[in-house]
Structure 1
């Protein structure tokens, strides 16, 4: 039976659906059947989507509306997409309720945390306590630019099998306080949270880097993430 993976999409100018092909290719490489999800204002359609899909890949993109976690906009907040925030917020909550696998990448990691009850930095350069690394790298997208330390007793470690990996990085926002029931499983050397996961679900994993760019280039650590995700989703078929 095909493993149906819903893939979140971006919006350009509120009218044009956008998505990097790498997200689709990485899911297919891992054995999943990709379904691109449009961002809907109509919440009545979202429960059927959640029922039909076996797993959810939350992709990268722009900034998140800070009013969703009780804050007003910081001067360094970038462009937000309210329609995408609304859709993903409601879809995530249904996936959590149904205990279906979620792999959340970059922005996806952040909106997952917000939907589950956590919060985030609107801009790590302005708000993080420590001096930070270059988290918006100027290197090519598939190039690994900094290290992540992985917690041994974690889902992420069980997938990767290493305490330290090198990742790519394209973000200026990040998780600040993990949602209840979630634990941090990866950090950058500057203390920025790079991975977190649910301790109450089978497979809910958020990562701050972009493994899809590396998976399509054959990087094994990135491929392992997608294979583990699709395998977990296959248990929901």
Structure 2
């Protein structure tokens, strides 16, 4: 059976849950079965959901509560939904404990870093000088700026390149990562574009939106294939020990 990938959805204060079809489409194309995770703050339900699926895809969306990394709200902070933050952090803790693969995209990358002890810029243009345009005025599939990838990284082994172009749709960004995470890609202005865990087989965060680039970009396809392959490997390993 194909690996089942749990996907978080966007959540509004009105309690509306939704997801761009791009996320489920790329998981299907990469050989996985997408499973949308409904929002709850019930710890038992979150634990059970984490046991039922083989990997976790943390998607993009709105802003993150700065009190999670001990900061007061910046004037540039947008709308936050605390229930989303709470559930995603609980999911991350469960998946890391079970050593299941995690891929965080944009907001997902940021909440993954916070859950593992890091922090972030609440509003990149307002808190960091001389930054690139990280909220591009171009189609979502367009690669707008370059990133430099560390050669001693999982990301480099997937792409086989140290310099690629990515799209960009964020005003928040990862600021500091702590062990076991390490930075694996940066933009030319120094903004962190990717990180990974050195203590897990596949725990990766990327700041861009590869799900919007797969139609034209082979690197995006490779990333999702590698993620689903890691989920399949973890599923097979779990089956051996049952």
TM-score (norm 1): 0.97
**Bigger shift: residues 221-230 or 14-23:** 14-23
Distance 2:13 2:63 in 1: 14
Encode CA deviations 1:136-181: one digit per residue, 9 max, x unaligned.
Answer: 0110111110001000000000001101000000001111110321
**Bigger shift: residues 20-29 or 36-45:** 36-45
Aligned position for 1:39: 39
Encode CA deviations 1:30-65: one digit per residue, 9 max, x unaligned.
Answer: 000000011112122111111111000000000000
Distance 2:167 2:212 in 1: 9
Distance 2:41 2:234 in 1: 27
CA contact (8 A) 2:141 2:216 kept: no
Q: Secondary structure at the match of 2:26?
A: helix
CA contact (8 A) 1:114 1:179 kept: no
Aligned position for 2:148: 149
Aligned position for 1:173: 172
Deviation (angstroms), 1:218:
4.1
Runs of 4+ in 1 over 6 A off after TM superposition: none
Q: Is 1:233 equivalent to 2:231 in the alignment?
A: yes
Aligned position for 1:107: 107
CA contact (8 A) 1:5 1:34 kept: yes
Structure 1: unaligned runs, 5 residues or longer: none
RMSD: 0.9
Deviation (angstroms), 1:71:
0.8
Aligned position for 1:4: 4
Deviation (angstroms), 1:11:
1.3
Aligned position for 1:138: 137
**Bigger shift: residues 34-43 or 59-68:** 34-43
Distance 1:14 1:230 in 2: 32
Structure 2: unaligned runs, 5 residues or longer: 236-242
Q: Secondary structure at the match of 2:147?
A: strand
Deviation (angstroms), 1:203:
0.3
Deviation (angstroms), 1:213:
0.5
- Within 5 Å, give how 1:66-77 maps onto structure 2: 66-77=66-77
Distance 2:52 2:205 in 1: 22
